[in-house]
Chains A and B, each alone.
Chain A
């Protein structure tokens, strides 16, 4: 049940939610907001123009409109955030359910794998995958989607363990419900809240990770307009053509800030203890 008063009292949730909502709006309506095509409207004669009336965020070295690229960049960055978290959450929750519910050997194996995943730095994992597959948006989904599921796995498992021996689940077993339906109907709803929080914060992390990979030359495939890629390619022009870094940089900052605030607010709204217990 949504508690309207509680939502309003959670200022983080409210501010973060508005930012995320706005960013999604920009991504969805990009063709209507952008003033130029982000890729094909390129003209060397107009390269590196400072912001003016027709190019409100200026142009890049290829002579493309930075504003339009930032607008379309919302699609890339948000899709990185969303797709990777869908994959992460799916893997994490499935493995967590199996580990917690089946116990014994399954549990040992999955928790062992989780520990391994936690100990190998995500950036290294992603780097190796990106180096193997080559830069590109789809490969980023895979690289970041496969590497950051350990937290949601742990949370799910912890939740399952606490619900498993409840009378409710025992009763379901006695009534002859299958393992599968018990997991889905009884256990899953309990873990959704904390997992959603993890996914929101994870989305923020993934957007920054895309920027970091771009810095290392392994981000989204150019000429795809991604914020991280724009920022990375403009770093040498930081003082010469600052508009090329400031706007995509701000876009990342605001969006990630929004997601983080939203995630924190969501956690407060749901109950801070849930998330905490499973993180230790």
Chain B
């Protein structure tokens, strides 16, 4: 177990190396002059633009910049923002708590809505109830996020005036509700789908049939055997979804002016503030990898017979 964790941690290194290379190539492939973007598209004289390029090391060839970037990153230095002109690490890390808060709440909503819905649908598999539950669940994942957000905002902020339209509100719970709901509903649907499939699988397993043959009440079977066994898979999916969630918050963040890392990432791509974009991506990816590792460890813990060779 310990060895496994260490080995997986060591595997992070080549993965992160590969990812930084891909990100670097991808971001530098985007046309648009970072130096000019930096200057806010003022009508600058050519000399000023040249000076800017030099100051920002943009006059150096790409491989030199990549090498510098990686060697700095290895020392924990993410560089300096072209536009903000201070430490990228600080820029990214101040935005992280808001994103984590949003992602965790969305995940919680997804679990609270999705798992019961999927469980219920599976027990009545093939019935109209199943269809109904599926339509609700699938409906959640079928609405474009910004549409859902606008509708929620209109209902709760304008018509009912019970929730603030947007903003972080210095961390107030009331500001979190709508963004988390908008993001969570889609994930609830995905989780409902996984839960349903997992429960169906467990239901057809031998031990459930045995339990039924023994004459145990169906409620007891459902809770004691089915849910517990399905939980392993639900947990795995939750972990995977959570990992990817961090990178999917852009639209919700923009609509609700939520100060997270997703909108920062998209903005910095548009502004060609490449150090910030790289910083955001590295953080998002590390979170993804760590969450996945945790899921694996947890999985191992619950199901020790799984062989990782």
A and B: bona fide binding partners: yes
CB of B33 within 8 A of chain A? no
Q: Are B142 and A260 in contact (CB under 8 A)?
A: yes
Q: Are A275 and B197 in contact (CB under 8 A)?
A: yes
CB of B23 within 8 A of chain A? yes
Q: Are B236 and A280 in contact (CB under 8 A)?
A: yes
Which of B18, B125, B284 is the one whose CB lies under 8 Å from A121?
A: B284
Q: Are B29 and A116 in contact (CB under 8 A)?
A: no
Chain B residues closer than 8 Å to A252, beta-carbon distance: 142, 144
A54 vs B189: C-alpha distance when bound (angstroms):
39
Beta-carbon contacts of A2-30 to B below 8 Å, as 1s and 0s?
00000001111001000000000000000
Q: Are A128 and B18 in contact (CB under 8 A)?
A: no
CB of A204 within 8 A of chain B? yes
Which of B27, B138, B201 is the one whose CB lies under 8 Å from A264?
A: B138
Q: Are B248 and A123 in contact (CB under 8 A)?
A: yes
- B81-136 residues at the A interface, CB under 8 angstroms: 125-126, 128, 130-131, 134-135
Knowing A9-B126, A116-B15, A120-B19 are in contact, say whether A132-B29 is a contact too (CB < 8 A): yes
Knowing A11-B126, A124-B265, A276-B201 are in contact, say whether A256-B142 is a contact too (CB < 8 A): yes
Beta-carbon contacts of A179-202 to B below 8 Å, as 1s and 0s?
000000000000000000000000
Knowing A112-B18, A261-B138 are in contact, say whether A267-B197 is a contact too (CB < 8 A): yes
Beta-carbon contacts of B137-176 to A below 8 Å, as 1s and 0s?
0110111111100100010000000000000000000000
Q: Are B22 and A120 in contact (CB under 8 A)?
A: yes
- B239-278 residues at the A interface, CB under 8 angstroms: 243-244, 246-248, 250-251, 265-266, 269-270
CB of A166 within 8 A of chain B? no
Q: Are B30 and A132 in contact (CB under 8 A)?
A: yes
How many Å from the CB of B172 to the closest CB on chain A? 26
Knowing A11-B126, A115-B15, A272-B201 are in contact, say whether A253-B243 is a contact too (CB < 8 A): no
Q: Are B201 and A249 in contact (CB under 8 A)?
A: no
CB of A231 within 8 A of chain B? yes
CB of A245 within 8 A of chain B? yes
CB of A86 within 8 A of chain B? no
Q: 10 nearest interchain CB pairs? A: A121-B247, A256-B142, A260-B138, A211-B144, A257-B142, A119-B288, A128-B26, A11-B131, A272-B197, A132-B30
Chain B residues closer than 8 Å to A122, beta-carbon distance: 247
Which of B15, B18, B30, B135 is the one whose CB lies under 8 Å from A257?
A: B135
Known: A253-B143, A257-B139, A268-B125. 19 other contacts (CB 8 A): A9-B126, A115-B15, A116-B19, A120-B23, A121-B248, A124-B266, A124-B281, A208-B142, A211-B146, A212-B250, A212-B251, A216-B250, A216-B266, A228-B144, A231-B144, A235-B146, A249-B144, A272-B200, A280-B299
Chain A residues closer than 8 Å to B285, beta-carbon distance: 119-120
Chain B residues closer than 8 Å to A123, beta-carbon distance: 247-248, 250
CB of A36 within 8 A of chain B? no
Knowing A128-B29, A131-B269, A257-B142 are in contact, say whether A12-B197 is a contact too (CB < 8 A): no
CB of B233 within 8 A of chain A? yes
How many Å from the CB of B226 to the closest CB on chain A? 14
A232 vs B154: C-alpha distance when bound (angstroms):
17
Q: Are A119 and B243 in contact (CB under 8 A)?
A: yes
Chain B residues closer than 8 Å to A127, beta-carbon distance: 266, 269
- A82-128 residues at the B interface, CB under 8 angstroms: 112-113, 115-116, 118-125, 127-128
**Could you give 9 example pairs across A and B, Cβ below 8 Å?**
A124-B265, A128-B29, A132-B29, A239-B154, A257-B135, A260-B142, A272-B197, A276-B233, A280-B299
A contact residues vs B (CB 8 Å cutoff): 9-12, 15, 112-113, 115-116, 118-125, 127-129, 131-132, 204, 208, 211-212, 215-216, 228, 231-232, 235, 238-239, 245, 249, 252-253, 256-257, 260-261, 264, 267-268, 272-273, 275-276, 279-280
Report the tally of A-B residue pairs with Cβ distances under 8 A: 136
Which of A249, A279, A280 is the one whose CB lies under 8 Å from B147?
A: A249
- B206-233 residues at the A interface, CB under 8 angstroms: 233
CB of B34 within 8 A of chain A? no
How many Å from the CB of B115 to the closest CB on chain A? 16
How many Å from the CB of A41 to the closest CB on chain B? 26
Q: Are B126 and A10 in contact (CB under 8 A)?
A: yes
Chain A residues closer than 8 Å to B26, beta-carbon distance: 125, 128-129, 132
Chain A residues closer than 8 Å to B134, beta-carbon distance: 12, 261, 264
Q: Are A273 and B135 in contact (CB under 8 A)?
A: no
A257 vs B198: C-alpha distance when bound (angstroms):
21
A119 vs B22: C-alpha distance when bound (angstroms):
12
Chain A residues closer than 8 Å to B265, beta-carbon distance: 124
Knowing A11-B126, A124-B281, A132-B31 are in contact, say whether A212-B145 is a contact too (CB < 8 A): yes
